[in-house]
Amino acid sequence: TWYTQFPGVTEAMYPMMKSTENLACSFSLHSTPTGKVKGNPIGDGTGVMPVLTANKALYVLNVHDSPPGQNNLGEMLPGHAVFTGQTGVGKTTAEATLLTFLSRFDPLIFGIDYNESLRHLLCALGAEYYTVQLGHFTGVNPFQFHDSPALRQMLFDLVLCCAGGPDKSNDADQKRISSTWVL
């Protein structure tokens, strides 16, 4: 069935439509994805960082999902990265490397850092680093932020959650919380 990926092969164990993409992917120069070098949404549109693949090819890593061959500079497209693996395989190192490459775009970084493993890197990148510890004051009080309708709704939801959630309170309780407790 390996030959069925080539256009023109008519006898196939599992017949399917053949495309030029199938043919291109079977050639050695087209077997490794290259990533998107230009036209990315973030910063100046260049790829975030070059990565060497297992077969020694160059892959341009991006964290945004943008269609290849299309210029998406400045568009608000989703961008995510997940690092999973066993202890000691380099997840924190990969994350630190990615953050360092992303720092050239002057991003706003929010992170939850286990065991303060990225503390020095984040401080070197100019981030404010806070450690949350049980029983210690954080200095963050959302009730003292500048007032806005969105903040009021967030505070109402926070108080409602602390009161046990909508399942533990009736409509009268929720109205009383929204009118008296969240000012």
**pLDDT for 137-174, tens place per residue?**
888 888 899 999 999 888 888 887 777 766 666 777 76
Position 40 pLDDT exceeds 90: yes
pTM for the structure as a whole: 0.62
Question: Where do the H-state alpha helices sit in 9-134?
Answer: 20-26, 91-102, 119-124
Contact 64, 79 (CB under 8 A): yes
Buried b (16+ CB within 10 A) or exposed e, 152-172: eeebbeebbeeeeeeeebeee
How would residue 78 be classed by pLDDT, with cut points 50, 70 and 90?
A: confident
* Domain range annotation of the chain: 1-31, 142-181
The backbone torsions φ and ψ at residue 52, rounded to the nearest 5 degrees and listed phi first, read -90, 125
Give the CA angle between residues 118, 116, 43 to the nearest 5°: 30
Strand partners, 61: 49
What is the distance between the alpha carbons of residues 98 and 115, in angstroms, rounded to a whole number? 19
